[in-house]
Structure 1
Amino acid sequence: MKDSVAGQTRIQRNKIATITEAALDVFSTYGFRGSTVDQLARAANLSKPNLLYYFPSKEAIHTHLLNGLLDIWLAPMRKIDAGGDPLDEILTYVRAKLAMSRDMPRESRLFANEVLQGAPHTRDTLSSDLKPLVDEKAAIIRGWMDQGALKPSDPHHLIFSIWSLTQHYADFEVQVGAVLGPEVPDPFPAAEDYLVTLFTRLLSPDA
């Protein structure tokens, strides 16, 4: 008997979740071009025809993953509040992005691979969803700077810097681990201390 959610049965939803989880492993490891339907089916412990019953192509699985990921990725930025304390709002965003790199490294690498390939499956979404949101938050940040609550800088490039400095710990996880060595099994506490200090000194009018 079908449940009401999206007209799918519980079994169908479970299968889709299984495929999505397996695809996240495969795509984040091999990238879109380096992944095959056979790999995806094996990772999901399904036959190839069974997998293709739920998703008609590798592209469909990839797009499904990315669409869900973008909503999650943008959630911390949406929380930046024009009425909040300016430096606290920025540092909360930095911490949230770093936590996502800690807790969701596969998702970060999946998105990074998509962008490196020219964003073939998300270009329209980046223009329609990401750009207006970034422009909105950049305008808020510029307003804080104009009021003297933050040191002046380019708000868009500030946001780019936050992305690159936080997502580095997921996208280059192997490199970070190789450099720090086994004596530092968890780089994130020190990374958070460093990034909070960095952005506080960059943005605080009293620094």
Structure 2
Amino acid sequence: MDAKREPLAGSRTGPAQPTRIQAINREVILDAALEVFAAHGFRGATVDQIAARAEMSKPNLLYYFRRKPDIYRAVLEHTLSDWLAPLAAIDPNGDPIEELRRYITLKLRMSAEKPAASRLFANEVLAGAPVIGDFLKTRLRELVHEKAGVIGRWVDEGRLAPVDPMHLVFMIWAVTQHYADFDVQVRAVLGSQVAKPGFHEQTAQAVLTIVLNGVRPRG
């Protein structure tokens, strides 16, 4: 799987060849909707809130998306494409430690720069994945199995310590997205330290040290 965005089944993709202005407006709507859905959830969010956040009229917004579910599906599609791209980019022929270092670094950067996207995805899963359930069982499952196979081969070749590939992927997801999904908890524990310059770099270094030292070959 590459980083190319493929619509989830049933999504509305808008005009076949949108103009530059239409493309810009669509991105503005999706960015606004991401913030609203992440803050209020699907049920709590309204089209009026999204239109206000996007600084456009409701009729103008409805030109691009007919209904709130269409906006929600499009936002999830956009989010999933972005968040899975780093996993898809793991190179089977690369150095295992460096490939994992790059993947973890990218995930941490995305959590820092796009926390709302991580929270939106987490909320969808916690709700039982009503929109992306089929995606999780097909494309996501296939991608994870593919990359777990790569990690398993690295283990068999002695290039990584004996670790369970699936649980390594799950652990990387958990630790990298924790800083976005549980931002309030992190700030409650660390206080003003979170706002200090270099906090995200220090976080990345700590996570990389712990994870990579755990998977380096022994002896």
Mark yes or no: TM-score above 0.5: yes
Q: Which residue is 2:7 aligned to? A: none
Q: Distance in 1 between matches of 2:102 and 2:24?
A: 34
Q: Which residue is 1:82 aligned to? A: 92
Q: Which residue is 2:204 aligned to? A: 192
Structure 1 segments of 4+ aligned residues over 6 angstroms from their partners: none
Are 1:174 and 2:184 matched, yes or no?
yes
Q: Distance in 2 between matches of 1:174 and 1:132?
A: 33
Q: Distance in 1 between matches of 2:73 and 2:194?
A: 36
Unaligned runs of 5+ in 1: none
Are 1:201 and 2:209 matched, yes or no?
no
Q: Which residue is 1:30 aligned to? A: 40
Q: Which residue is 1:64 aligned to? A: 74
The two structures have a TM-score, normalised by structure 2, of 0.86
The two structures have a TM-score, normalised by structure 1, of 0.91
Change (3 A) 1:151 1:13: same
Q: Distance in 2 between matches of 1:148 and 1:7?
A: 50
Unaligned runs of 5+ in 2: 1-14
C-alpha deviation, 1:85, in angstroms: 1.2
Which of residues 109, 133, 137 is equivalent to 1:127? Answer: 137
Change (3 A) 1:145 1:165: same
C-alpha deviation, 1:34, in angstroms: 1.6
* RMSD of aligned Cα (Å): 1.7
Aligned pair count?
203
Are 1:40 and 2:50 matched, yes or no?
yes
Q: Distance in 1 between matches of 2:48 and 2:57?
A: 8
Identity %: 49
**SS of equivalent residue, structure 2 residue 42:** coil
Q: Distance in 2 between matches of 1:183 and 1:194?
A: 15
Q: Which residue is 1:117 aligned to? A: 127
C-alpha deviation, 1:17, in angstroms: 2.1
